[in-house]
Structure 1
Amino acid sequence: MKFEYMGIDHIQLAAPKGCEEEARKFWGEIVGLTEVQKPESLQGRGGCWFQYGNQQIHIGVEEDFLPAKKAHPAFVIGNIEDFRLHLEGNGIKTKEDAPIDGRARFFVNDPFGNRVEFLEYK
């Protein structure tokens, strides 16, 4: 093979028009990601982008928005139980799912109903 995968640049989640304020509160203030400026050529589309390490999550406006209830991003977290308490303390409901050996994990819904997983390797 003459090519190789280098990593994931970004994940995009859809949201309804006018989502930016709620997205900034959830992804920026509560989850703690850093907002980054969208390229000028994309700013008229709405939405906002956030960064963690070398990866980004893009919240994009979708005209006929429906939340992703099964497909989801999964974020690796250190000290996941402290993070869970932080989320719950900010009014975010966490949900358990089937256990996976070697991982502690839970799910939340973003303000738009998209499923998001947080996990820690044990």
Structure 2
Amino acid sequence: MINFKRADHIQICVPLERLEEARIFYTDVVGLQRIERPAFNSKGYWFQISDIQLHLSTEDALPRTSRHTAFEVTDIAEARRHLESYGVEFWEEPVLPDRTRFSFIDPFGNRMELLQFTE
């Protein structure tokens, strides 16, 4: 069983050539506050929206999209064991210092990230 705690972030993608246009839209038009993002996400911006984040990234024609939702869970290891028991496909995420995380792919090709903050 997976015990969801809260939504953590939503990632949206834009073409690389429109990245700055998207940054201006989300800061100047929508009014979001930019926040620091990890170095591995070199082609994008992160914004704070209330208690969740919006991750703006770029995407070329890839076999699989990087668009996804992310949810904080209470027990990441149990969530992974639960999904593994159903043979769910996983997508390993780059390591971040303050959380344990992974993504899984549903039967329809959608990606969902699960994470747990480390203390």
Pick the TM interval, shorter chain. Answer: 0.3 to 0.5
Q: TM-score, normalised by structure 2?
A: 0.46
Give the number of the structure with larger relative contact order, counting CA–CA contacts within 8 Å between residues 6 or more apart.
2
Indicate the structure with greater strand content.
Answer: 2
Q: TM-score, normalised by structure 1?
A: 0.45
